[in-house]
Structure 1
């Protein structure tokens, strides 16, 4: 096992907090610092694993803070950004200048991305979910009226006839 300096330890802890695998971190350390380390040594810097239970308090706090920031700030990740998606789709659309089928697929993907953004506006519910909620609300109102009928019935309800499935329409008017 190689003895690691403080900047390398911090790099490892922050990488693990950002959900990189130990192998990815080991490869990144080799590329960034020119030091070859094993996955097992990297795992010792992850406080969520059993090998990392003896990690210093300072590095545990750094791990927790980095993990929290990583989870909360997804807009810093290019692929999580809508502008990044549209830029990539634009490039793909231009690359397929002769292929109409692929251009249509790229347009369909862009359209779904736009629709996804419009349905997750303020309500964060799809149109289908909103309709289902509205239907349930109307059913509840109807049940409330049946349980607690209003004191006076509206005039248009005087002429309504409710039939059971086995009844026929009456021949004579009901008064």
Structure 2
């Protein structure tokens, strides 16, 4: 188990707050800090997990604040949320996979959907004056009620006819 400095611990806590998996954090910390840590050690800095139950209040507050900031950021800050970026990625994939006809067709379809605003069109249905839609239910015609005596007096053919027509 590697001994971590405060900066490295903060990096781990902030990464976990941004919904990175412990394995992803292990890879990132290896690249940025040249330290080998285990996913279990990283998980100990996540207060939402059992392993992070003993985490100090300082890191719990940091985790909660980082998560709040991450969730509050506007969508245009996310690389894949931008149409132009999506189109560029799909275009690159299309060029590299043009020998695969089925995948190429799917990619072209995806590009067309983005270009035509397929994902942006929302249809909202309102009732009169913007209120809720009024719904009415029709009452089904009640079936005739037969007493046990009436049923006992019927012939088998009459009973089967009632059963077939759904009146029994």
Scaled by the length of structure 2, the TM-score of the pair is 0.63
> Hey, what does 1:86 align to over in structure 2?
87
Q: Cα distance 1:29–1:93, how it changes in 2: closer, same or farther (>3 A)?
A: closer
> Hey, what does 1:70 align to over in structure 2?
70
Q: Cα distance 1:22–1:99, how it changes in 2: closer, same or farther (>3 A)?
A: closer
Q: Cα distance 1:29–1:95, how it changes in 2: closer, same or farther (>3 A)?
A: closer
> Hey, what does 1:31 align to over in structure 2?
31
> Hey, what does 1:146 align to over in structure 2?
none
Q: Distance in 2 between matches of 1:36 and 1:110?
A: 41
- Number of aligned pairs? 132
Unpaired stretches in structure 2, ≥5 consecutive residues: 137-168
Where does 1:131-150 land on structure 2 (aligned, <5 Å)? Answer: 131=125, 133-134=126-127, 140=134
Where does 1:154-169 land on structure 2 (aligned, <5 Å)? Answer: none
Q: Distance in 1 between matches of 2:47 and 2:94?
A: 44
Kindly report the root-mean-square deviation, in angstroms, between the aligned alpha carbons of the 2 structures. Answer: 3.1
Of Structure 1 and Structure 2, which has the larger fraction of its residues in helix? Answer: 1
Q: Cα distance 1:109–1:59, how it changes in 2: closer, same or farther (>3 A)?
A: same
